[in-house]
Each structure stands twice: as C-alpha cells, then as structure tokens.
Amino acid sequence: MRIPISAMIGLFFTGLYFFIAIFAPWLAPYGMTEAVGDVWEPASSTHWLGTDSIGRDLLTRMIYGGRTTIWIATAATILSFTTGSVLGLLAATIGGWVDQLLSRLVDLLMSIPSLIFALVVLSVMPVTITVLILVMGLLDSTRVYRLARAVAVDINVMDYVEAAKLRGEGRSWIIFREILPNALSPLVAEMGLRFIFMVLFVSTLSFLGLGVQPPAADWGGIVKENKEGIVYGIPAALVPAVAIATLAISVNLVADWILNRTTSLKGGRG
C-alpha cells in the first residue's frame, strides 16, 4: 500500500500534535502558569518561541494549550458522532413520526447559527470544560445526524436490509451489523472535518472569552492574550494561529485520503 505524499504530511503533523497533547507535562520546559521572563521577550535559546504578555514561556503555553484544545475538540467530536449517528440511524430505520420529530428538531437547531447559540448558552451557564464539550458536541451532532440519516436512508432500502428484516432480525442487528459498516466510510471522513470545525469553534469561543478560562491555556486564548502585541510588531499571537491552521490542514489531508481510499469511484465510470 502506498501513501500519497500529501497524506504523509497530514499524518505526520496530526500525529505530532496528538503526541504533544498527550505528553504535554513531560515535554513542556516550564510550568504552565509560571512567569519565567520579561514581557514579550523575543525567541532565544532559553525560550524557543519567546515569552507571552505576562512573561510566561510561550512554547510551554502552546504545548499545554494544544493539550486543552485537542482534548476538548476530540471529546466534543466523539460526543457529536455518537449522538448524531445513533439518532440518525434510528431515524432512518424507524421512520414515521420518530424521524419527523428528530429531523424537525434538528432543522430548528440548525436554523440558529451555532456560534450565537453557543454564546447565549455559555453566558448563562457556568463555563467549565464539561459544559463546553457538551454544548459544542450537541450543537455539532445536528450535522452528523443529517449525514448519518441521509446515508442510512439509502442503505435501508437495499435488499440485504430487507432480507435481514424478513429473517426477523432485531433493530440493533440491522443498525450495527447491516447498515453501520456500509455507512462508515463517509462518516469517518466527515469525522475529520468535524474535528477541525471543533478546533476552530473552541478557539473562537476562547478568543471571545467564553471558552477555556485563564489561567488555563488554549490556542484561542493565547491569541486573545497576545493580540495587543501585534500593534508593536510582536508575533506571539501568530504562533497559535499558525498551529490552528497547520492542524486543520493536516487533518483535512488525512480525511481526504481516507475518503479517497474507501470510495469505489476511481476514474471513469464505476
């Protein structure tokens, strides 16, 4: 099996970021909230990326920030996927009023811009990581629901599903053994894209002050803390921005590759 160069790059960076996120406490040179130097020191041998707006080591903040951002995004993606795909598959197989109720509810949620919705909810709820994950995961599950339902409706009318029904199989066999394996490849590819969306979402919320609360670090928060520096020509705010961008692009490359590999459409007709 040959992996194309773009996917290789994607896999490398995605792997690197996840590795750093998991082993952050061992990799970070300083403590997360420890002030170790002057304000906005330039990069040097002691502080590879310089220091931030209150003299903390920026590399350390970035490492811990990555850990928070990736952890929240991963947890929210998993939540949105399990909720969205289970409900979507149920709606597709049961049909009737269950499908109608769930689908209209999802339409309702989707008609409100997620960011505005999240801002309203987070401004009345205590902002903890759990609440953040729940709000983001549930809001995003509407999109997964739509995809899962659409894919499953197509599969549900295949003869092998009818054959399983005629055999007398229960709903869980039909969903998890007949439909899910065939719906998996579009769902997995979508998972990568949803994950990126979560990274952007949590960063946006933190930048707006409703996400991860200081002194805990996350990439959106680091942009916010250092944004004044840009006026004085200090690039500290750009470092997390670059990190967000590279993570987004790498995950996209991986997702593209998976979709390409699993789809049967390769050149020409069928």
Query: What are the residues binding another protein (CB under 8 A)?
Result: 1, 158-160, 162-163, 165-169, 177-178, 181-182, 266-269
**Distance between CA 145 and CA 85 in Å, rounded?**
5
Nearest approach in angstroms of CB 246 to another protein is 31
Could you write out the DSSP letters of every residue in 137-175? HHHHHHHHHHHHHHHHHHHHTSHHHHHHHHHT--HHHII
Structure tokens belonging to residue 17: 């970021």
Write the single-letter amino acid at 63.
I
Nearest approach in angstroms of CB 173 to another protein is 9
Nearest approach in angstroms of CB 186 to another protein is 14
Nearest approach in angstroms of CB 267 to another protein is 6
For residues 104 and 177, which CB has a smaller minimum distance to another protein in the complex? 177
Nearest approach in angstroms of CB 89 to another protein is 15
Helix then strand then coil, in percent of the chain rounded to 5, is 75, 0, 25
Q: Are the CB atoms for 77 and 144 separated by under 8 Å?
A: no
Write the single-letter amino acid at 33.
T
Residue 2 backbone class (left: φ over 0; alpha: ψ -120 to 50; beta: rest):
beta
Q: How far is CA 74 from CA 3, 24, 57, 196, in A?
A: 25, 16, 26, 10
**Distance between CA 170 and CA 193 in Å, rounded?**
32
Nearest approach in angstroms of CB 150 to another protein is 18
For residues 83 and 182, which CB has a smaller minimum distance to another protein in the complex? 182
For residues 183 and 196, which CB has a smaller minimum distance to another protein in the complex? 183
Nearest approach in angstroms of CB 142 to another protein is 27
For residues 166 and 231, which CB has a smaller minimum distance to another protein in the complex? 166
For residues 169 and 256, which CB has a smaller minimum distance to another protein in the complex? 169
For residues 165 and 227, which CB has a smaller minimum distance to another protein in the complex? 165
For residues 8 and 164, which CB has a smaller minimum distance to another protein in the complex? 164
**Distance between CA 101 and CA 178 in Å, rounded?**
24
**Distance between CA 2 and CA 248 in Å, rounded?**
23
Of the candidates 209, 188, 261, 240, the residue with the CA atom closest to the CA atom of residue 17:
240
